[in-house]
Structures are given as C-alpha cells and as structure tokens.
Structure 1
Amino acid sequence: MDKPVAKTPKYAIVNGDEATFAELLPHTNGDTTIVVYTDASGKRFYATEDEWSHGGREFSTKAARQGIVTSESSTKDKIALFKLLFEGRKDVYAHGYRRKDGGIGYAPMCSNEWKPGVCPKKTNLKARCPDCPQRSFAPLSDSALVSHFKGERSDFKDVVGLYVLGKNCKTSVLVADFDKEGWKSEIAAYQQACEASSINVAIERSRSGNGGHAWIFFSEPIDAALARNLGSTLITTATNTTGALGFSAYDRLFPAQSTIPEGSFGNLIALPFQGLAQKQGNSTPST
C-alpha cells in the first residue's frame, strides 16, 4: 500500500515570522522537494520540507492559542469570524429574488412569506413587510450563510442581504460603493486614503463584476452619522490625491442614512462570497 502523502501546510512560522506557502519545487538531487513561500511583504524564499513542516506545526499551535482563523480552520470557526465581521441588524436580514427583468431584488426573510391566507403580499403586492402584523422574522442563521456561500439557486433566493443599521442607528461596518467604468482606480485611491489614516479596509469585487465595495469594520458599533462622516472624509482625501474633480464611479456609502426612516429597516447591502457570483469571479476579494 502506498504511503499517504502529507498535506503541505498553507501557513508556517519561519525565523519567527509568519509565511504563506507558494509552491513545491523538486530539488536538483531528485530525492527531495523545496518549499517556496512568501513573507508578509510578498517576497519569495525557500525552505526544506522539514523546516516548513516544523514551521507549520508552530503556526497551528499559535493559531489555536490566539484563536486565529485561517483557510484551514473548521467551517464553524470560519462562519463565526464572518458573522463577527459582517455584523448588521440582528433581528432580521434580507434574501434575494429574481425580478422580472432578470435583476436581483431583496425582501426581509420571513417564515410567513407568500403563505396563503397569512401573507398580505398574496393579494396585495404593495403590502409592506415592516408594517405587516403577520411578519415572522429571524436572525441570520449559519445554514442561511452556508446556502449563500454555495449559491445553488438561480432564483437568487439564497443570496443574503445585510441591513447595516441596528435599531439604535449604529453600525458595525462602513462600505463605500463604486460602480461602472473607472471603479478600480477610484477604489484604489480610496484604499490608499484609508491606509494613510491607518484604517484597514477590505476590497470586494461586487456581484455584478462591474464595481467594487470597500469594507471598513469597526471594533464596536458607532453612530451611523459618525461612520458616514468618516467615509465622506476619506472620499474627499482620495479625490484630492488623484486631482480629479469628482469620482464618477463612486456611488454611495453604506449606511446611506444616519437614521432609520419610519416604517423601514434601513438600506441593505449583499454579503460577499456568494456562490453563484463567485463562479463568475465576482463577490470576492479584489486587489
């Protein structure tokens, strides 16, 4: 029976620094292989398989001790991290649906939706979910997120939308939305403005592929007005840096409001890593 091939760790600690696996190359003697890896700055180095395996075990120990989540972590840990970062209104979320024109729309996830004799939309398409006495909303579940990541429904029903404002008009995220031609250069300028202010930002290619979202995560919820002021300042800084009169691809900030309008849940944004869009190279991190 053939000896099972050990999996090469994706991450390791080499000379005290974290490193990321790049590729395996055969050694000139033909009996061993060399591990090529990159450091935090992206520079490439090499190590022996034994050195990399030892570093991989050291990294695993550190990750377990500090609660670091990586691509090799359990699904449970990955989902927990995702929900910690992409945190919105806790009592309700939105699901997608395919509009008649083929585009996507969103509605609050309700267990009574379209039930005959229960859901008002069965007889009145203009019925509003926030005002409905039969509404039965629920927090975002792990199973709904897994369905979102898989993206197996062509009717978009498994696409999850996040209501970014809580009932107290506070938000845990700030998202700058860029659309249409020129979005890549403008979102790069916005990213530079964030980094110049020591603000971490995550860039996502949108579901359509024709734009991008720049996500900022707050360690605790802050007033929506304060978050929007921060976003506006960063946009102004980015515009001044490029020397442009305005950002033609910049669309808006999420949250789009400082307060929740009467009879509303506030605006929403689709969560990233949606399976159907990922198959087209969208809804994923972008550089």
Structure 2
Amino acid sequence: MTISEEYIGISQGSVISPLLANIYLHQFDLEITKKGYHLIRYADDFIILEQTQEIIARALSDITTTLQTLKLNLNEKKTRLIHAENGFVFLGYYIDINGKGPSKKAIGAISRKLDEITRSGKRRSIDERITDLKQSIKSWTNYFHTCRGIDPKNEVMLIALIEMSLELGDDEYAVKLIGKRKDFDIDQSDIWYRLGHLAKILGQKEEALNAFSQALSISPDHFQAKDSLKQLELVDEDVYSSIERLKRLIHHCPDLPQPYRDLAFCYSELGEYGQAQESFQQASKLEMKEEPEEKHKEKPQDKPITPPSIEPEQLIFSDEDISLFCSLFRGRKESFACQWVDEIGRRGFSTISRPLNPDEIKRHFNGIDTLGLYLMNEEDRVYLSVIDVDINQKALLEYATNEEEITKLHQLTNNDTARIVSICDDLKIPVLIEDSGYKGRHLWFFFSTPIPAKLARIFLKFIIEKAGKASSGIHREIFPDRDKVKGEGFGPLIKLPLGIHKRTNRRCLFLDREGNPISNQMEVLSQIRQITQQTVEEILLTYGVTSRTASIKEEENESPLIDSLLSGCGVISYLVKKARDSHYLDNSERVTLLYTLGHLGQEEKTRR
C-alpha cells in the first residue's frame, strides 16, 4: 500500500478501536433497547438475555436487520442461541445460572504460561520463581479477581497460588490449596517451611506443624522452621490432639521447657496426674539448665498438680423459670448444640437438629447436659449478644502451676469486666454478668426484637473501645463474631448460662457488680431490661459512630445531583454499586468516577 492509497477502517489493535466501536454502534444500542431487548455489549461483543426462545429468535432477526443498516454482519461462527443452564462464554468468563468464573480457555492460557515460567526458571531460586509466577497470576487476577480454577502443577506454583489467594482475601480457597500439597513429593526444606508459614497465617495448626516438622526432618538445622515451630500455639480445647502436637514439637526441639509445661497442663486436664508430674519435672530440669545456679537455688518449689474436687451447687427453678429462660435465650430456631466429653478428655459440641424445648433446658439446669445456643437466626439477626472476657490461653499455660499468678489473672478478668460494665451503666445499657465456669466472664445483652448481627457487633465493639484496651493477659471476644452465616453453617455458638462447665464441674452463675454470685438466679432474669434497636442506633449516632452504621441502613442520603447522575447513567451507577459492594475498582474505573463525580463541585462535596 502506497502513501497515496485510501482505505476504510482502522488498524487492528489500535488504542482508539473500542472508543470508535462504541461511537459507531451507539445507534445499534438505541435501536435494540428501544425494541425492548436486554442487551449487554462490550465493543463488538454482545449478548441478549431473554425469557423465551421465541423472543430470542425475534431478537436475532432484528439484530441482523439493524446491523445491515450500519453495513455490518453477524459472525455466524461465533453467534449461537443457547439456554443459560448450558452456560456460555462472554469476555473470557464462563457464565451459567450458578454464576460466573474464568472460562476453560482463560484458565488454559494462564496454566500454559505458568508452566512455561516454571520450566524456564528451574535454575533460579525458589523466591525468584515464586515472584515471577505471582506477577503473571496477578495480571490474570486483575481481570478475573480470583485464582480459582488454576490447577497447580508443582509445589512452587502451589505456593504462588496460595499467596495470591491470600492477597485477594480468598482465605477459603487458600486453605483448599494448602490441602493440595499432598499431591506433590516435596524434598526441599525451604518449600516445606514456606508452606508451614502460609498454613500458620491461615490458622491451619495441624498443617503448619506438619510442614515445619517436614522441613526439620530434611534439614534439622533449618533455624526458621525451628523458630516458627516454637511459636505455634499447639494447645486448644482438644486436649488429646494438643498432646500429640506437643510431642512432635518436643521431638524436634527437646531442650525447650515450655512444651513440657504445656504437656503437664494437658495431662492434668485428662486426670493423668502421674504423667503430668513427670512432664512438669522435666520442664523444671530444663529450666534449671537455662538459669544461673544461684538463681534456681532460691526458686521456690511449685506445688504438685492435683485433681479438682469441686461439687457443683444445685439450682432451684420452676416451670415458670424455664419459660422465662426460653423467652430470653433465643437463637436459631431449628438447631441447638450439646456439649460432649469422651473417655480421654476431648470436648466439643454436637449439633442437635430440632428446636430447643423446655425438657432440654431442665436437663441443662440439672447438670445432666450442657447446652449451647446458635445465636444468629435464618435472617442473620440476633436476640442477644455477648462480650466474652477471658484469660489469654498463653498466659494461662505460662502460669498453669502458679496459683498466685492465676489468682492475679482472675482478678484482672474481674477488673476488665467491671470497666466494661461501668461503661454500660453510664450509657444506661442493661447487661448481665455470668461466670463462664472456667477462666472468664460472659456479658449478656438482650434485645427486644431481633436486630441485624452486623449492628449488634458494631454496638459491642463500640462498648469495648469505650472501655479501653484490655489488660495484659486478658482476651476479649464478641458474639456474634460475624455479620452473616455463609453456606450451610449454623453460625456462632455460645454456651448457655446456669449449666455445668464440663471442664471444671462448676455451675455458670450470674454475678453482681463485685463478682459475687447473685442469691436468686432466676429473679435477676425476670428483672433484666431488653434493649430496642432504636436505642442501639441512637447511642451509636450520639457518639458519632456514623461511618460504621451507615452501611446498616439500606437507604442512602444522596444529594439531588448525585441521584440524578446515578439514575441517568447506568455505567456510573454500576461503578458506584461495585465500589460499595466489593470495595474494589481497577484503575480505569477509578479514573472514570474521578472525572465524573469529581466535577460536581464543592457544594456537592460539602453535602456529602
């Protein structure tokens, strides 16, 4: 082609091609939407969504005619009529009635690219290879916003995908990927260490322990794996599993005294006081090796571990008391939970799939069963919420055999509870204090009608923040612990009051402001005042907690100018909704909003 020749069209790949396509096809958009069809178009790719095949067939005819007036034709090879149940690909996404995700073609393309990076970079370090893989995955996820669908072909790719899933906030998929490490024969300690580090971040205690142990089996002097192994919190409610984890830690780090102390605590929980004493003595020997001789000579002997001998007190109650209790402690209608303890001391809750009835409450009061309540109903609302004030597990284990320190920690629990209750009293918020039966307090808040779990969480968080930071060694937790119940789960579970704690054999009684048991447990329930949703919202608004409560209300106080813009421009309305729902916009989307909403002027900014 010479410089004097004329031609029609523009070069393929030109940066202004999408813009020119939109300008040229604008008339097409108007004609098709005017006929009532539901059109979604991007450049020269589009789909029509309708209810029946007859409407779609008519739409195809109208589209063909309209395009011909613009001297355009449909690409017959790429045009087809399908049912949404069968799925279709649009702009790289596979879409069906269940949702959308990357198409097989898109997944295949990124998989081949990652394979190529892996093969070509074998001489590079693990960190460099993972960095290269993550750069390619990030480019892909900037469009699809997920790593799901990419199948890791090797352990290096697996780590890159887990790290990218974490960056995207998809912890659920990251946990699933951690499980795929079983598909690979891993013989490098650094790989195992990195997998252990990721498992630790995800709270996968067993996976982290296994990975760090594997790293040390290959390289016994791998200081990072050893240090990480020492830092793992290996003790939890499952005492039997805790013992197995501690034994593995001792195998790799036999000179540490703390695992033996933790082991002594676990054995005492199971009633194995002989083994507990042996573990405690071993911890003492190791501590003596670590300390100067003159120091341990002056050290007082810790008392031997002895079994608890507490008999739970009886609870006096009537049928009316049971009815009152049922009216206050309401949660998920069709399910509750019952605590169990097996012959080796393991404890947990089993879900009972039926409504909680008065006979079961009676068994709970009599100490036969210990019941738990799923707080959130099917609409993600709650009738009550709880602040749990506990001794930190680490602090509890550290001073397991030191009665003086444990007493101090219990006093700190009382003090922390008193600070929170004082805030509630100042705000005239009714609250009921309960001895949780083991190492803490439950602060119960009752609502007159079920309120959104999200609002309850904001309310309790506000109270905690107003009470100030918790004392050292004290841990606070809010129930409900989430805004919504996802999937088929039952949501947050909390043990009901007035029952027997299976670990300590203590009854969980209501307390007065000084921390003493109230003489008439049922009378205090009859006197408790319930909180209205209006009261909650008024308190939050009074104290300026507006930014966090704004999302609770469905309505938004937009200005007339913004209302007009959002109702008149589908693109801007979509971007604003996307920003609110996902808290993410890519660069081009942010720029689009900046150069539209940004020009509304200072008046509109001050209204906002």
TM-score by length of structure 1 reads 0.58
Structure 2 residue corresponding to 1:271, chosen from 483, 496, 499: 496
Pairs within 5 Å for 1:1-287: 75-99=318-342, 102-109=345-352, 137-152=353-368, 158-180=369-391, 181=409, 182-208=412-438, 210-239=439-468, 244=469, 248-275=473-500, 281-286=506-511, 287=515
Q: Deviations over 1:31-71 (max 9, x none)?
A: xxxxxxxxxxxxxxxxxxxxxxxxxxxxxxxxxxxxxxxx9
Alpha-carbon separation, structure 1, partners of 2:496 and 2:488: 23
Counterparts in 2 of 1:183 and 1:82: CA distance versus 1, 3 Å: same
What RMSD, in angstroms, separates the aligned Cα atoms of the two structures?
A: 2.4
Any gaps of 5 or more consecutive residues in structure 1?
A: 1-70, 110-136, 153-157
Aligned residues: 179
Q: What SS class does the counterpart of residue 339 from structure 2 fall into?
A: strand
Counterparts in 2 of 1:195 and 1:271: CA distance versus 1, 3 Å: same
Alpha-carbon separation, structure 2, partners of 1:247 and 1:229: 24
Counterparts in 2 of 1:139 and 1:235: CA distance versus 1, 3 Å: same
Q: What SS class does the counterpart of residue 83 from structure 1 fall into?
A: helix
Q: What SS class does the counterpart of residue 200 from structure 1 fall into?
A: coil
Identity of aligned residues (%): 29
Alpha-carbon separation, structure 1, partners of 2:344 and 2:494: 20
Give the letter for the 2:478 counterpart. L
Alpha-carbon separation, structure 1, partners of 2:343 and 2:480: 27
Q: Which has the higher strand share?
A: 1
Q: What SS class does the counterpart of residue 143 from structure 1 fall into?
A: helix
Q: Which has the higher helix share?
A: 2
Q: What SS class does the counterpart of residue 258 from structure 1 fall into?
A: coil
Does the CA contact (< 8 Å) of 1:205 and 1:213 recur in 2?
A: yes
Alpha-carbon separation, structure 1, partners of 2:492 and 2:421: 23
| Alpha-carbon distance, 1:174 to partner | 1.1
Does the CA contact (< 8 Å) of 1:202 and 1:285 recur in 2?
A: yes
| Alpha-carbon distance, 1:267 to partner | 1.2
Alpha-carbon separation, structure 2, partners of 1:257 and 1:272: 22
Does the CA contact (< 8 Å) of 1:150 and 1:276 recur in 2?
A: no
Alpha-carbon separation, structure 2, partners of 1:245 and 1:175: 16
Q: What SS class does the counterpart of residue 199 from structure 1 fall into?
A: coil
Q: What SS class does the counterpart of residue 361 from structure 2 fall into?
A: helix
Does the CA contact (< 8 Å) of 2:416 and 2:471 recur in 1?
A: no
Q: Deviations over 1:130-167 (max 9, x none)?
A: xxxxxxx2100111111111113xxxxx1110000001
| Alpha-carbon distance, 1:250 to partner | 3.1
Alpha-carbon separation, structure 2, partners of 1:245 and 1:94: 30
| Alpha-carbon distance, 1:229 to partner | 0.4
Any gaps of 5 or more consecutive residues in structure 2?
A: 1-314, 392-408, 516-608
Does the CA contact (< 8 Å) of 2:387 and 2:443 recur in 1?
A: yes
Counterparts in 2 of 1:75 and 1:282: CA distance versus 1, 3 Å: closer
Alpha-carbon separation, structure 2, partners of 1:245 and 1:222: 27
Does the CA contact (< 8 Å) of 2:335 and 2:354 recur in 1?
A: yes
Counterparts in 2 of 1:222 and 1:247: CA distance versus 1, 3 Å: farther
